[in-house]
Chain A
Amino acid sequence: MYGLVNQAIEDMITHQFSVAKWEEIKKTACLGDMAGFENMQSYPDNLTYDLIGAVSKTLDITTEQVLEAFGEYWVLYTAEKGYGDMLKMAGDSLPIFMNNLDTLHSIVGSMMPNLRPPSFQCTEITNHSLKLHYHSKRIGLTNMVIGLIKGLGKRFGTVCEVSLIESKKSEQGQEDVFFVKW
């Protein structure tokens, strides 16, 4: 994944904990002598998974919890790191925004040629709920999506509930369906 993602993990830890904690986590992930990440450079996915694992180990919380927290943080982080306009353009309400998630990542892809972004589709849209279909070549990031949607809810001041109603792992990757109610 792009360095931006790993940078966001670093940013989350140093802001919510300390620089020392981050150093500890890096050491646990065997990245002790890594100075920093280049945001526009693509790194192996394993590095990100290792970091998530090390955060879980160091803070003594489950990887699911780490992923969810990171999903929430990502909404704040991208808004600050030059993607604020893009977030604004993608909609000013939770349902409109979710509808644009796929387009959003296509646009991001135009700037990051090695991006392997997830796909999103919204179905069964009502005034207070929808089904969000998430497709990814990566496996195991389900809880990050939950955190991301919750983060979006906070961004728009919309109280929402997210439940995983279908989840399928295969060679092709992960296919999840979330039911989002607000």
Chain B
Amino acid sequence: MQQPIPKEFLLQVFPFYFAFDERLSFVHGGHSFSKLVENVSIGTSIFDFLELQRPQIPAISIHNIIENQRSIFVFRLLSSKIDLKGQIVYSEVDNLFFFLGSPAVKEANELIKNRLTLNDFALHDNTMEFLFILQAYQNQLNMRLADKNKELEYKQHEIEAQNEELKQQREEILSINERLEELVVKRTEELHKTIDNLYVQNQNLEQFSYIVSHNIRSPIARIMGLLQLFDYQNINNSFNIQVLQYIDECANNLNNIIADLSEIISIRKNLEKNKEYVALQANAESILESLKSEIIQTNAKITIESKGIDTIFSIKAYLQSILYNLVSNALKYKSSLRTPQITIVFQQVKGNLEIIVRDNGIGIDLENISEYQIFGLYKRVHNHVEGKGLGLYLVKTQVEALNGKIELTSTLGEGTTFTVTLPI
């Protein structure tokens, strides 16, 4: 014989239970059930506070319930939106249906929201375990995901760093390439310059051998000619004295030529000379002193003007030689029609020293004679005047050794102006 189901027992073992009669009216329920359903009183239809989720039966009726006693029933509680999962048992003695189950939730939060605690669950109920295993699993997954993300981020950083490195290497290669190209261009330019230099040097050499042969040969030829005139039979012939005087002159001339040549060679060899402070005015005056006899002979008027500069840090011997040659050149090529007037000017122009030597001599026909010929190791421009053709070449060599330049302007029959520009 069946016994009635004791309510006390139900309350302890199924705190979420509820009982209803064959009219589907609520009769009584557990403490935890009451926490989830508000204002339910005996006699209310169970569908006032829940709806059936499972099993899927067309319409709920006692008949249907009895037929589905082997099914899992899921009710959704309308007020709390919580699903209760369990089974329905019919008790003939009580003539009541008992729903025995507990919440089917996927997150602890749903329970917390409804203020359910461990105490609201039967001790045998595994809902909590299930819930927390689920959560632990979730935590684990999240952690792994976070780890993976971190790993990915790290990889990403690594790739970015590698990219950066590659980019830098590429840039380096590009810049090396560029530098190489620049270097090639520079080297090519240098080569061109060297070729040009070599060309000039070659011309210089040609000129040099030309001047050597001409300038040295002519006094030697003269000496040989004079020696033929020498009267060996009559040593005491007074004519011989004249011959010897001429030979002496030629030898002196040769000596001067050779001194100049060796000076030119030493400049060309770039022999290191010491620089010093040179007082321009005093230097010019001492040069005029050494040309005193020529000045007196030609009755030349020479003036020195200093404009804004009186000393220069330079090689004194070169400055002296430059000025000496320019002035003696001016004296040499004087016009026989007028008293020679020579002006020496020192002036500062844009960080340079300009030395100007202006004369009113015979002038040079610049239309027919190139500067190259004037400063070159060529034969003299003026054949009728005595000279050795080395002076201006020496001047140019020394000016260039001082990183300067020399230019001239001239009008035939009126005079010539040489301008030497030297960096200060």
Contacts and interface: CB of A to CB of B under 8 A. Distances in A.
A96 B115 CA distance: 13
B123 A103 contact: yes
A96 B117 CA distance: 9
Contacts of B119: 91, 96, 99-100
Given A82-B135, A82-B136, A96-B117, A89 B129 contact: no
Contacts of A100: 117-119
A139 to B, nearest CB: 28
Contact of A110 (B123, B132, B139): B132
A100 B119 CA distance: 8
Nearest to A88: B112
B139 A91 contact: no
B133 interface: yes
Contact of A91 (B118, B123, B128, B129): B118
Nearest to A90: B118
B399 interface: no
B133 A85 contact: no
B150 to A, nearest CB: 14
Contacts of A103: 118, 123, 128
Chain B contact-residue range equals 10 to 19
Interface in B140-190: 140
Contacts of B132: 85-86, 107-108, 110-111
Interface in A92-123: 92, 96, 99-100, 103-104, 106-108, 110-111
Given A90-B117, A100-B117, A100-B118, A107 B128 contact: yes
Contacts of A99: 119
A99 B123 CA distance: 13
B353 to A, nearest CB: 73
A88 B135 CA distance: 14
A89 B108 contact: yes
Nearest to B128: A107
Interface residues of A, number: 19
B335 to A, nearest CB: 101
Contacts of A85: 107-109, 112, 132, 135
A77 to B, nearest CB: 14
Q: Which secondary structure characterizes the binding site on chain B?
A: helix
A80 to B, nearest CB: 12
Interface string B107-138: 11101100011110001001011001101100
B373 to A, nearest CB: 89
Given A91-B119, A100-B119, A111-B133, A82 B128 contact: no
A99 B118 CA distance: 10
Nearest to A39: B143
A40 interface: yes
Residue of B108, B132, B139 with most chain A CB atoms under a 10 A cut-off: B132
Nearest to B109: A85
Nearest to B108: A85
Nearest to A108: B132
Nearest to B116: A89
B391 to A, nearest CB: 88
A111 B109 CA distance: 19
A89 B32 CA distance: 14
Given A88-B112, A89-B108, A104-B118, A110 B133 contact: yes
B108 A86 contact: yes
B129 A110 contact: yes
Given A91-B117, A107-B128, A82 B108 contact: no
A120 to B, nearest CB: 13
Contacts of B129: 106-107, 110-111
Contacts of B135: 82, 85
Contacts of A40: 136, 140
Given A86-B132, A103-B123, A107-B128, A92 B117 contact: yes
B2 to A, nearest CB: 34
A86 B108 CA distance: 8
A9 to B, nearest CB: 19
Given A96-B119, A104-B118, A88 B108 contact: yes
A90 B128 CA distance: 10
A108 B118 CA distance: 13
A88 B139 CA distance: 17
A54 B126 CA distance: 40
A82 B112 contact: no
Contacts of A90: 117-118
Interface string A54-97: 00000000000000000000000000001001101111100010
Contacts of B107: 85
Contacts of B109: 85
A2 B359 CA distance: 113
Nearest to B134: A111
Contacts of A110: 126, 129, 132-133
Given A85-B132, A103-B123, A106-B129, 13 more contacts: A40-B140, A85-B107, A85-B108, A85-B109, A85-B112, A86-B108, A89-B108, A89-B116, A89-B128, A91-B117, A100-B118, A108-B132, A110-B133
18 contacts: A40-B140, A82-B136, A82-B139, A85-B135, A86-B132, A89-B112, A89-B117, A90-B117, A91-B117, A91-B119, A92-B117, A96-B119, A99-B119, A103-B118, A103-B128, A107-B129, A110-B129, A110-B133
Interface of B: 107-109, 111-112, 116-119, 123, 126, 128-129, 132-133, 135-136, 139-140
